[in-house]
Structure 1
Amino acid sequence: MGRIIFSTESGADLPKDLVAKHNIQVVPMHVIMDGKDYLDGELSVEEVFDYHHRTKKIPSTAATNEHEYHDLFTRIREEYPKSIIIHIGYTSKASASFQSALIAAESFTDIYLIDALNVTGGLGAVVMYAVQLLEENPTIETEELIEKVEAIVPKTRLAFIPGSLDFLRAGGRVSNIAYISGALLKIKPCIELKEGKLVSTKKYRGNMSTVAEKLFRDYLNEYNIDRQQLYLLFSIGLEESIKKRIDQIAIEEGFKNVKWMQAGAMISTHAGPGGFGIAGIER
């Protein structure tokens, strides 16, 4: 059996240390600002927020296209000629990215695609589950590995609160009426992935410090999350005191490993500054 290589999109927001350590191949999605198309990763999050501050405009985003996936898969095969490629992709219900990957994969053999039906830390959690499963069972058959990964896709839970309704509205995730009422009442919506779709499920009132803790406790009450691993998400601007409090709660709740993941430019165009989220896999 050839070496298994995992790939995913930049929208997984995987930290660079994990990408390098586990040789995960990441293909960038796109951020479009002032009519220029940037690859996610070549444009800093600070530039996105500064652009909004100066112009009151918010960049748009675009999926990875078929040619970029073809280049990705070709590059992997050139570097690892007998490899088996497993691509774990951004939810097909919120982006055309996965469909483009499917089209590109038709030109290759020994390539498998898994729709994670998730984004940012939720997608990252699925990728890291696959990576760890292979590292713990290096002789596992490809079909068994894929079956196990697909089985945890519906058990992967992501919930986040955007830092700014301005960014959420621009991304089409909240209506003008909801935006106005939310801004006036200082309401913060919770966004979750339901069957691959981004859905507003709850509404919280108060400052982010209060709301972040309430979201975390509600999340743990609703989902029986495996205490072995938890991913905590933030966009630039989230106060360090909030992160420390969430870390404290995670320890109290018995989580063995906690990893903070910063939203990249693409995800930040939807979350805005100071956003907070949680991703884990149910037992």
Structure 2
Amino acid sequence: MEKFIIVTESGADLPLDLAKAHHIHVLPMHVVMDDVDYLDGSIPVTDVYDYYKRTKKIPTTSAINPNEYACLFQKITEENPGCIIIHISYSSKASCTYQNALIASEDMKNIYHVDSLNVSGGETAIVLKAVELIEKQPDIDPKRLIEQLEYFVSIARVSFIPGNLEYLKAGGRLSNVAYLGASILQLKPLIEIVDGKLVATQKFRGGMKRIAEKYLNEYIGRHNMDKEQIIFIYSLGLEEHIKDYMEKVVKEKGFKKIIWVQTGCVISSHSGPGAIGIVGFKS
């Protein structure tokens, strides 16, 4: 029996092979299109793109509710007597998932929560760090584990460039005037996750290949990163040659492990097709 069992949300975009390999439970968030509520992961991402093409609207996304958390927490506890559940949550500044999980576990003493203050690959990075820490210290005190994970949350550096500004405009995150100006000038915003919030910090100009090159080199030059691992986030539609270039650069820079994280329906609803992001830890 495993002492520690990790739970996270589909908004982490945790690759399926890693979830299976480490027995991580992934609860699906919700995607609503045409008044139909779909579980994230139950439909292909292309359905989100098709919905936007047809309606010029992005899907509505919503958090996991307290009852869904409670059912999973109880099921895991019943099937694994004496286990400790480590719940690593989607950013509390971007969703009510964290608060809903707290409500669900009010009367359960075996559940510990970590607010990843991140989304997508940023949340995946914290999940994988939990796996690593538990493997190295299988008898670690849960409170000490939480402290260590919160430290890694504080040194995570996560950013991305959306693939399609139309999705930001449709979601109300970009005015029509700003959209028209950015389109004419071929500008795309850099979105950084700062204290759990998504903040536009600068703009890149040009085609996506040129932008990706500049973005990656600036990211590496700006942050003194731990080179044990780097995570690339991308949404379906990113050209393969851009992925190949980015992988080539980080290998030349000495990064040892490269993980690619493809966004699911929840994240793709906001980023649009062809987005690219980078996740790492400061050294």
% same residue: 51
Aligned Cα RMSD in Å? 1.3
Give distance in 1, aligned partners of 2:113 and 2:250: 33
Which residue in 1 is equivalent to 2:217?
Answer: 217
Which residue in 2 is equivalent to 1:113?
Answer: 113
SS at match of 1:147: helix
Give distance in 1, aligned partners of 2:52 and 2:273: 11
> What letter is aligned with 1:160?
F
Give distance in 2, aligned partners of 1:257 and 1:174: 35
Which residue in 1 is equivalent to 2:3?
Answer: 3
Please say if 1:268 is aligned against 2:240. no
**Residues 201-236 of structure 1, C-alpha deviation per residue, up to 9 Å, x if partnerless?**
110011110111111111112211110011101101
SS at match of 1:81: coil
SS at match of 2:227: coil
TM-score (norm 1): 0.97
Which residue in 2 is equivalent to 1:123?
Answer: 123
Which residue in 2 is equivalent to 1:207?
Answer: 207
Preserved contact between residue 60 and residue 171 of structure 1 (Cα < 8 Å): no
**Residues 12-44 of structure 1, C-alpha deviation per residue, up to 9 Å, x if partnerless?**
000000000001111111111011111101121
Q: How does 1:48-67 map to 2 (within 5 A)?
A: 48-67=48-67
Structure 2: gaps of 5 or more residues: none
Shift of 1:55: 2.4
Q: How does 1:152-191 map to 2 (within 5 A)?
A: 152-191=152-191
Which residue in 2 is equivalent to 1:42?
Answer: 42
Which residue in 2 is equivalent to 1:192?
Answer: 192
Give distance in 2, aligned partners of 1:18 and 1:138: 19
SS at match of 1:23: coil
Report the more deviating stretch, 8-17 or 215-224. 215-224
SS at match of 2:157: strand
Shift of 1:2: 6.9
Please say if 1:29 is aligned against 2:13. no
Query: How many pairs were matched up?
Result: 283
Structure 1: gaps of 5 or more residues: none
SS at match of 1:243: helix
TM-score (norm 2): 0.97
Give distance in 2, aligned partners of 1:171 and 1:263: 17
